[in-house]
Chains A and B, each alone.
Chain A
Amino acid sequence: MQHVSPVRIPLVTSGKTYHDVTEDVCRQVEAKPNIRWMAALSVALFFLGVFLYSVYRTLWYGIGEWGLNKTVDWAWDITNFVWWVGIGHAGTLISAVLLLFRQKWRTSINRAAEAMTIFAVICAAMFPVLHMGRPWLAFWVLPLQNTFGSLWVNFNSPLLWDVFAISTYFSVSLVFWYTGLVPDFATIRDRAKGPIARRAYALLSFGWKGGAKHWSRYETVSLILAGVSTPLVLSVHTIVSMDFATSVVPGWHTTIFPPYFVAGAIFSGFAMVLTLMLITRVVFKLEDYITLEHIALMNKIMMITGSIVGVAYITEFFIAWYSQVEFEQYAFINRATGPYWWAYWSMMTCNVISPQLVWIRRVRYSIPMTFVLSIIVNIGMWFERFVIIVTSLHRDYLPSSWAMFSPSIIDIGIYVGTLGLFFTLFLLFAKFFPVINMAEVKSILKYGVDNGPTYGGPNTGAQQSAYRPTGAPASAPVNYNKHD
């Protein structure tokens, strides 16, 4: 039992009842698809088509379709990979880290954020697999028995660590998300009118009934999954950063990379959560669940992680000078003043300066400002990866090999295409799955309202009896000013 202060602001506004939560969340699942959703899905499907065409070109004609050259042999593909994986991290942060810190406001955004994680990791996985050139041999990354003697994979390679990290992260996020969805599918199943919907959601709900023992186990499972996902999410982006940090390329070979990448991942992830939530809350009329307080809190996390990223940029510069390594120093001077200066300064403006606006209360609580900021941050974080990858590679130790990189139309097609893939998946999720975790929102409905639950477990004796006559359940509309 935790103490709930009477001055807490309710997490859900407008005095919703349990039944209102069910109605508000199930409404769009049960309604016929509306025209705005159809229009959005058509746009997403168009870009998915662009993706498929670009993938076809890549597979049929080979990696030569991309803008890579001998010097810059890693560019948009790995940039997009890191960008997408980073975006995914906010979902796990919200569902796991904030659960461990008992941040109850996370309940109304965790479902959509976890869905975003899963879809973002799917998009991310496309890039290394396509860059293999022969994706049908992708199983070679696994330590399987083979016909080349028993030539195993190299467990010393960070790229192999990536295989294990990303696949573990994806599958664990998926079961975490699905286990959370099961009780909500049961709610939809029990309300469903049509025979198809009833059967489909019955299958999805795994026969959930909401018995006390099941809930008790469910909570245990959630807590352990959260406890294990927290180091997992940190390990994933740490390993992604080691793809660079364990090399000897100037600008990559730094020990600051793991924390710097993790902070950057959370930064861009929260920006993407904000972008999606700001649209979702309006389209599905969920303003009472995803309130301005939620937006302000997410803005604050974005600002803090943005500042950590800013400190990391400056530290890198300092260490390049302090190390007295000529190549390191050149790499950083070249980033800021070389031919890719525009990418570097876009990154600095978007990631370091723009989030500082969040210090102003009016910006933090402003929906248009937040929306613009979230887009800017995502652009900035894309540039960050581009700057790290391309400017370090294009001029390293051997000046005779220096080269420039420019993307081909297929590069752009694949990147824009993964956005189409992501939004296709997200729109389908938003239509057919409950976008808000109803069960968890119901459990915090009384938080900050009517001083919260008063029952403190058996035999505590200290708590006042909260017995009310049956006519007036506490979940009925409550007068917030009442502090009796």
Chain B
Amino acid sequence: MTKRYALGIFEDEDVLMHAIENVRAAGVKIYDVFSPYPVHGIDDALGIERSRLPIAAFFYGMCGLSFALWMQIYMLGFDWPMIIGGKPHIGLPAFIPVSFELTVLFCCHGMVITFYTISGLYPRLKVPVMDVRSTDDKFVMAIELKEDADLGNLTQLLRANGASEVNEKEMTKE
């Protein structure tokens, strides 16, 4: 299904931020803003909720910690107990390094895999982008156009808020 978008091209971060505020105040729903670098405060301005990835990361870390402790206690304490240097079978202080490393390992990889999955990022040959300049030096505000949308008014609104160009683009929605 193809959708039409109005693309407001901005040259500057500050102009863009004020434009977002004004466009949203005018009651226009912004589909997304594509920028060459992470613009600070843009998630608040667009009303994007804070990512829950830190919670996921904590959860993965705890999984790693539990797994590491279980593995070491089970293997050396129960499955094949051996006396090593006259020390107890379950010597918890000696288990700290491996437990820490596995906590970090599970936390990082779990979080990164989750990030790529929920963001729909995976290797692919063709990437449909709104405007190729958005990965170079332009900030692109995309607004989804309804069937009978009035592009004229929208263009005027974006121009008045500092957009250097306003284009229209048809995209196949994923």
Contact = CB atoms under 8 A, between A and B. Distances in A.
B51 A212 contact: no
Contacts of A1: 40-41
B170 interface: no
Interface in A18-32: 18-19, 22
Contact of B97 (A18, A161, A203, A457): A161
B75 A155 contact: yes
B84 A154 contact: yes
Interface residues of A, number: 84
Given A160-B98, A165-B101, A473 B109 contact: no
Interface residues of B, number: 77
A171 B124 CA distance: 23
A228 B133 CA distance: 34
Contacts of B36: 18, 22, 187, 210, 438-439, 442
A138 to B, nearest CB: 18
Nearest to B90: A155
B98 to A, nearest CB: 5
B127 A467 contact: no
A182 to B, nearest CB: 7
Interface in A191-214: 191, 199, 202-214
Interface in A448-484: 453-458, 465-470, 473-475
B84 to A, nearest CB: 5
B129 A155 contact: no
Interface string B117-135: 0111111111101101111
B107 interface: yes
12 contacts: A155-B94, A171-B109, A179-B115, A183-B135, A186-B127, A211-B34, A212-B39, A229-B108, A453-B40, A454-B14, A455-B18, A470-B11
Given A203-B125, A207-B120, 17 more contacts: A18-B137, A155-B76, A156-B84, A158-B97, A161-B97, A187-B135, A205-B127, A212-B33, A212-B43, A212-B46, A214-B119, A224-B107, A235-B101, A468-B15, A468-B162, A470-B11, A474-B13
Interface of B: 11-15, 17-18, 21, 32-46, 48, 51, 53-54, 57, 61, 71-72, 75-76, 79-80, 82, 84-85, 87, 91, 94-95, 97-98, 100-102, 104-105, 107-109, 111-112, 115-116, 118-127, 129-130, 132-137, 162-164
Interface of A: 1, 17-19, 22, 143, 149-156, 158, 160-161, 164-165, 167-168, 171-172, 175-176, 179, 182-183, 186-187, 189-191, 199, 202-221, 224-225, 228-229, 231-232, 235, 239, 242, 438-440, 442-443, 446, 453-458, 465-470, 473-475
